[in-house]
Amino acid sequence: MRLKTALTFALALVVILGVGVGTIGRSSGRAGNDNRTSYTPVLTHQTVVAGAHTPENVIAAIIHRYGGTRVAGAAIGSAPAIPGIRPGLWLRFSVDQLAGDDILRPEWEANLVSGAISDALATYHLAPLAGTRIDVTRPDGQVQEDASGGVGDILSGQSFSSESDSAIVARLRSELASAGLAAVSIDLLHADQPAPVVIAKTDSPAVAAADARQTIRALFGADPPYYEGYYFEVMDSSGDPVFIQTAAFRLGVGGQWVNPSYAGVTSLIQTAHHTF
């Protein structure tokens, strides 16, 4: 059983002269304040879909176009029975964990889709997305209900890279090479703007773990991020994962797993652990 870190990204507006930070948005999710990432968002983008401006069509259209293979479906569902739940729509996702997947992969695809749905709901002045619940179908067919879910502190309308897929892939390959990593695969999903899925391999896993934070910043940016989300997995020469990190910035959540063999050397922050 792996330990997984849930990350929450607080999208903050920096006050004039840098005298303070004010967080605007809504807050939920599973990570504490010690594991949050703040940055100054660029708020110039509108997420749009073809067809009727209804929650049901927004959900269906974004799932149809995002280009991934793990989200089997989503529908408006009920909120968990917890006092003080924020009003708004709750989405219930069904995702597939394929053979060879870490559970972070299908959860990330659901989070990426959720973020685009949240922004489209805001574009059309529909009821806001209050939360998500994700049910995971394992490779053996067993279903784990409520495997994860949540919404971070977010602002709608964030603008990220709209470069061509080919330009993004070329830049990521170059950055991987600079970091001493070999690209295994680079794919792009399009829930809205591009979101890379990067799998890489290293012959020096301890070095890769130590350099992880710097590598992630070079690949995906920091303030603000280059892309609306990313999935990044580094494997050793035998194909065993060294670390995995994910982010879905429109939703304000992410995930992380570090191989215990490199927990003592990694530069990634490891807090707020949950078991799945």
What is the tens place of the pLDDT at every residue in 25-46?
A: 222 233 333 445 578 888 999 9
pLDDT (tens digit, 9 = 90+) per residue, 177-199? 999 999 999 999 999 999 999 99
Classify residue 162: in a domain, yes or no: yes
In percent, the amount of the chain with pLDDT more than 70 equals 84
This prediction has a pTM of 0.87
For residue 275, tell me if it sits in a domain: no
In a domain, residue 246? The reply is: yes
Q: Please answer whether residues 45 and 67 qualify as being in contact, where contact means their C-beta atoms are separated by less than 8 angstroms.
A: no
Residues 6 or more apart whose CB falls under 8 angstroms from that of 82 comprise none
Q: Is residue 274 part of a domain?
A: no
Question: Into how many domains does the chain fold?
Answer: 1
- Domain assignment present for 174: yes
Residue 7 in this model has a pLDDT that exceeds 70: no
Of 166, 224, 222, 223, which Cα lies nearest the Cα of 196? Answer: 166
The domain of 258 spans 3-268
Asked whether residue 117 is domain-assigned, the answer is yes
